[in-house]
Amino acid sequence: MQTLRRKDILGLEEMSAEEITLILETARSMREIMQRKIKKVPTLRGRTVLNLFYEPSTRTKASFELAQKYMSADSVSVAGTSSSLVKGETLKDTVRNVEVMGIECVIMRHPVSGSAYYLARNVEASVINAGDGMHEHPTQGLLDMFTILDKKGRLEELKVTIVGDIRHSRVARSNIWGLQKMGAEVVVSGPPTLMPPDLEAFGIKYCPCLEDAVDGADVVMALRLQKERQEGGLFPTLREYAEIYGLTSQSIAKAKDDLLIMHPGPINRGVEISSELADSNRSVVLEQVTGGVAIRMALLYLLMGGVKEE
Question: Which residues form the interface with ligand CP (CB under 6 A)?
Answer: 57-60, 131, 140, 264-266
Q: Helix, strand, coil % (nearest 5) of the chain?
A: 40, 15, 45
> Smallest gap, in angstroms, from Cβ of residue 11 to ligand CP?
15
Going through the chain in order, the beta strands assigned E by DSSP cover 48-53, 74-79, 105-110, 126-132, 159-163, 185-189, 205-206, 219-222, 260-262
Which residue, 111 or 208, is less far from ligand CP as judged by CB? 111
> How big is the chain, counted in residues?
310
Which residue, 265 or 270, is less far from ligand CP as judged by CB? 265
Instruction: State the angle between helix axes of 115-122 and 91-99 in degrees (0 to 180), rounded to the nearest 10.
Output: 40
Which residue, 298 or 305, is less far from ligand CP as judged by CB? 298
Burial level of 90, CB count in 10 A (0-12/13-18/19+)?
exposed
> Smallest gap, in angstroms, from Cβ of residue 266 to ligand CP?
6
> Smallest gap, in angstroms, from Cβ of residue 294 to ligand CP?
15
> Smallest gap, in angstroms, from Cβ of residue 56 to ligand CP?
6
Q: Is the dihedral of CA 9, 146, 53, 308 positive or negative?
A: negative
**Among candidate residues 183, 179, 147, the one with its CA nearest the CA of residue 162:** 179
Which residue, 24 or 305, is less far from ligand CP as judged by CB? 24
Asked if 279 and 247 count as a contact pair (C-beta separation under 8 A), the reply is no
Q: In what order do the strands lie in the sheet with 159-163?
A: 205-206, 185-189, 159-163, 219-222, 260-262
Distance CA(126)–CA(206), nearest Å, equals 36
**Could you give phi then psi for residue 81, rounded to 5 degrees?**
-70, -20
> Smallest gap, in angstroms, from Cβ of residue 293 to ligand CP?
12
- Helix, strand, or coil (residue 269): strand
Which residue, 43 or 60, is less far from ligand CP as judged by CB? 60
Which residue, 78 or 305, is less far from ligand CP as judged by CB? 78
Which residue, 196 or 292, is less far from ligand CP as judged by CB? 292
> Smallest gap, in angstroms, from Cβ of residue 194 to ligand CP?
18
> Smallest gap, in angstroms, from Cβ of residue 131 to ligand CP?
6
> Smallest gap, in angstroms, from Cβ of residue 163 to ligand CP?
16
Which residue, 140 or 251, is less far from ligand CP as judged by CB? 140
> Smallest gap, in angstroms, from Cβ of residue 247 to ligand CP?
17
Burial level of 232, CB count in 10 A (0-12/13-18/19+)?
exposed
Distance CA(102)–CA(295), nearest Å, equals 24
Asked if 290 and 144 count as a contact pair (C-beta separation under 8 A), the reply is no
Which residue, 264 or 305, is less far from ligand CP as judged by CB? 264
